[in-house]
A and B are shown apart, each in its own frame.
Chain A
Amino acid sequence: MSILDIKNLNLAFKTLTGQVDVLHGIDLNIAAGEKVALVGESGSGKSVTARVVLGLLQETRSARINGSVVFDGQDINAMPARKRAALRGTKMSMIFQDPTSSLNPMFTVGNQFTEVLRRRDHKLSKMASHDRATKLLEEVAIPDPARVLGSYAFQLSGGMNQRVMIAMALANRPKLLLADEPGTALDVSVQAQTVSLMRDLVEENGTSVLFISHNLGVVREFADRVYVIYRGRIVEDGPTAALFANPLHAYTRALMSAVPRITGAGLPEVPEVSDDFLAARVSHTEAS
């Protein structure tokens, strides 16, 4: 059974200069416990896809959304805003690019943890929340949880904050984790460490993941399946091994030939825009 099923998702923004079409009929599917990556160049529509799934763009007045986004059996687009908000932080959660600036500078980590835990358990006491947060921080291999809980994000290292973000995102045992270029702001080895930590934890919990990344190396390590997005269209998808072994779409090939030039967190530079990039979508079957 799939946890997320996006069908023919179209997205446009109304701007002062007219309408900008951003997504042109995205189809994307994530099975329970599956780790799926969405890769593509900057501006291709990765983040907006995640924000539609989270139900955040539905709240943006300039956004025009069409198509169905079925999460856990219910269409996110068709439900009232309240119900969408109720899913966020409980059944789905998100990890952002820069952990340090994603934590509020006015509240301690412990404070923010309590808020997150109370999303599921409204009456959770401070004490109980502290205990629970301590356990969760131990899960992400933070050696002294008490100190981290009492600290502000700016007092901790980026890697430490990233671990905090992962622990928070998984705190309420969501069914779906959206990770939008997690830790790209960190240095390469720290990013790799935290991604593998995240992989272990989601595998343990059976959490489905939509993993957004520029970094094909990390994607290859992390994902079961990959979707390649180009200018708001999925151009190729398939199991990670098959897709990397035999990229069929011209854009995917260009993306992969750019890999050697990627330095850690850098963007793949796809040098030319070619007409082939607009060719029809290719899907690998399990066999290929």
Chain B
Amino acid sequence: MSAVLRLLLHRLGISLIVLIGVSMLIFSIARIIPGDPARIALGPNATVEQITKLRGEMNLDAPLPVQYGFFLADISRGDLGTSLYTNRPVTQDIAQFLPATLELVFLAGAIMVAVGLPLGILAARYRGRWPDHFVRVLALLTVSAPGFVWAVILMLLFAFYLPLFPIAGRLSDIYEIERTTGFLTIDTLLAGNFAAFKDAVHHLILPAVALSLSGIGQAARLTRANMVETYDKPYIEMAQAYGFHPSRIARSYAFKPSLIPSLTIIGLDFAVMLGNAFLVEAVFAWPGLSRYGVAVILRKDLNAIMGTVLVIAVTFLIVNIIVDLLIAFLNPRIRYSTRGTS
């Protein structure tokens, strides 16, 4: 396993560098946007003295590198500062809003993998025949519109005209659930309230499906393409020559080697979902990080903006590390790369 460990350390190192880059970027961008954060925070009736005082407290008058130094020191203490918008620590805000977004993105990612990969396998297995054409048209259709467009379409179809699903929110008002993890599907179960759990899942389905659709198309197309390539490999002909069942050859012999190149992109798709979630959340009035993100951007709430972007960057990096480890774990060539050959 030392090869995997080495890989992990390498990726962590790279992630750290990326994080520093991201922090510099958002720090600079936040300072370049016109408008005085202190003035905005204090409102139009603030006196010059008040503004000057707040600017001093916020270190806004110090040179930029010094401000960045303060910023880094705070971050490393887990302190993202106070939000001017909510008047609470940014970490607390994020802890409140992030789980709703993650819950949505996780489910969407799971749907993408659970539906996209089998569709890709099916298309490759019946290449050139109707299941293949069907999947390709479907993939093209889903990829052709971004998540929020699907959100609007699905909402109109299945919440408005055909009221099968709730139109907005995470949970019906009748339920009162104690907050433990912030993931409602988990908290409702912890509370032993099964009806509320079902209600939470019910609320999740439409936004999650909307968010996952273009990912499904991507994953299906990618899986198909990689598998079609794999089908030309001698080991597939060998499997056929041994009379293994075509479905088995598809699912096992052809799919597994094809999954490795697909995984990186699927990981990226997952991360992209985090971005798309902002608009899907807006459509479904989903109380996630997006609302907070949009609100703090409009208010030029520097600490909160930086905190939000940072959290998204970290999530992105974590997903990438997980994908890399998964690849290393699945690919024997990496797993055994330290061993010699015979």
Q: Does A94 contact B (CB under 8 A)?
A: yes
B-contacting 9-mer, from A13-21, A101-109, A244-252: A101-109
Q: Is the CB of A119 within 8 A of B242?
A: yes
Q: Which 3 residue pairs spanning A and B have beta carbons closest together?
A: A88-B243, A89-B242, A89-B243
Interface-facing stretch out of A151-159, A234-242, A269-277: A151-159
What is the chain A residue whose CB lies nearest that of B237?
A96
Mask: chain A, 52-68; 1 = CB below 8 Å from B; 0 = not: 00101001010000000
Q: Is A265 an interface residue (CB 8 A)?
A: no
Q: Which residues between 237 and 267 of chain B lie within 8 Å of chain A, taking CB atoms?
A: 237-245, 253, 256-257
How many interface contacts (CB-CB < 8 Å) are there between A and B?
78
- Across-interface contacts of A104 in B (CB, < 8 A): 235, 238-239, 253, 256-257
Q: Which of B313-342 contact A (CB under 8 A)?
A: 330-333, 336, 339, 341-342
A102-B235, A106-B331, A148-B342 known; 17 other A-B pairs, CB under 8 Å? A56-B240, A87-B243, A89-B242, A90-B243, A96-B234, A96-B241, A102-B234, A104-B235, A104-B239, A105-B235, A105-B333, A119-B244, A152-B333, A152-B336, A154-B333, A156-B342, A160-B342
Interface of B is mostly: helix
The answer to whether A88 touches B241, judged by C-beta atoms less than 8 angstroms apart, is: yes
Whether a CB of chain B sits under 8 angstroms from the CB of A85 is yes
Interface residues on B, range: 20 to 34
Q: What residue in chain B is nearest A81 (Cβ atoms)?
A: B246
Question: Is A27 an interface residue, CB under 8 A from the partner?
Answer: no
Pick 19 A–B contacts, CB within 8 A, sort by A: A86-B243, A88-B240, A88-B243, A93-B242, A94-B238, A94-B241, A96-B234, A97-B234, A98-B234, A101-B235, A102-B234, A102-B237, A103-B238, A104-B235, A105-B257, A108-B332, A115-B244, A156-B341, A157-B341
**CB within 8 Å of B: which residues of A?**
54, 56, 59, 61, 85-90, 93-94, 96-98, 101-106, 108, 115-116, 119, 147-148, 151-152, 154-157, 160
Closest chain B residue to A156, Cβ basis: B342
